[in-house]
Amino acid sequence: MESEHRMDYLGFAITWPKTRTRANGWQVELSSSSPRLLAKLGGKAKVFSDPNSLDRAIQKAQQDVDEVFLCLAEG
């Protein structure tokens, strides 16, 4: 994904294009430069979408990160 905006969130990066590029909504990509954290995502970046709202797509990515940290705290 060609990214123009970036948000750092608890060791992860959420990135998205400056303008909506897909006809069916916003997409954000969740990744990390930390091999340990990237492994928690399954070894590769994840994409989250929302048909109407960039904020909701970002919230979905943040929720995934929150669940990763919940699993780390429990395990």
The answer to whether 17 and 2 have CB atoms below 8 angstroms apart is: yes
pLDDT at 73: 66
Tell me: the pLDDT tens digits for 35-70?
999 998 899 999 999 999 999 999 999 999 998 877
Residue ranges covered by each domain of the chain: 5-74
Closest by CA position to 32, among listed 16, 50, 12: 12
pLDDT at 74: 67
